[in-house]
Amino acid sequence: MSILETTANILKLMVTLQGGIKISDVIQHLEMPKSTASRVMNQLESYGYVEKDAARGLFLPGPLLLSASHLANRQAPLNELVDNALRSLCEQTGYTGYISMLDNQEILVLRVIHGRHSLPAVTWPGSRSPAWGTSTGRALLARFNHAQLDAFFASPLIATQIGGTSHNIASLYAAVERCRDSGYATAINESVSDTASVSCAIGDPTTFEAVAFCLSFPQALATPEELQRIAALLKETALNIALKTGDTRVTHQP
């Protein structure tokens, strides 16, 4: 196995395990001898691909990857606008922020911005979930026209995903319609236990790109008043970004 392939597999392992990795993870998942695993991880650290958290014995994405990620983000104006705005909201509220996109019938997490309030569980970049089961997914589905939404729910994958659950196509469709009417989506104790989230979606008509951004917080804080307050903040943010991107689909006043 080449060093390039080994590096790619180690980075993919970080995504799969949704966080930092230990030498033991590399040994177990990549079936690599301990001496080789230690040598490779030390080499990757020396080149800046990974960074070691000695206190926890974890290897995390290093400065070289973070710099490259920042450069990639600079090439995507929509992502940059949303990232900057969401960071401000996270600082203001103390809640955790996520930026996600639709990938076929799934929602793909692109970025997480940690808040001051701890969550029972954190969903890491690269994680995927059924789009209909998350607030970010429903916010993006609400941008679909009726024909697109019909096609989405007609997918065999959706039938497989909802099999054995209490959901049905009619109720999921209605949830998306409610999001379209209100301009935001909520999820309470759904895809992530004991967690609430409120989401809005925004697009760039020049690139046909669209992302959803949300604030997530402990379910215990999700009073009706707090949900409305967070929704108003997110909708106002979406409107401000829409003025810059020319997204006419964002029309709801906060």
Lowest-pLDDT choice from 12-21, 71-80, 83-92, 100-109: 71-80
Please choose, from the candidates 151, 153, 223, the residue with its C-alpha nearest in 3D space to the C-alpha of residue 186: 223
The yes-or-no verdict on residue 146 having pLDDT over 70 is yes
Average pLDDT of the chain is: 88
**Residue with token string 């808040």:** 115
CA dist 217 and 195 (Å) reads: 6
Mean pLDDT of 51-78: 75
- In this structure, the number of other CB atoms found within 10 A of the CB of residue 112 comes to 19
Q: What is the pTM of this model?
A: 0.68
Mean pLDDT of 44-68: 85
The yes-or-no verdict on residue 185 having pLDDT over 90 is yes
The yes-or-no verdict on residue 207 having pLDDT over 70 is yes
CA dist 24 and 69 (Å) reads: 27
Q: Are 184 and 198 in contact (CB under 8 A)?
A: yes
Q: Are 10 and 40 in contact (CB under 8 A)?
A: yes
Per DSSP, helices labelled H in 18-76 are: 23-30, 34-46, 63-74
pLDDT at 254: 45
Mean pLDDT of 212-228: 96
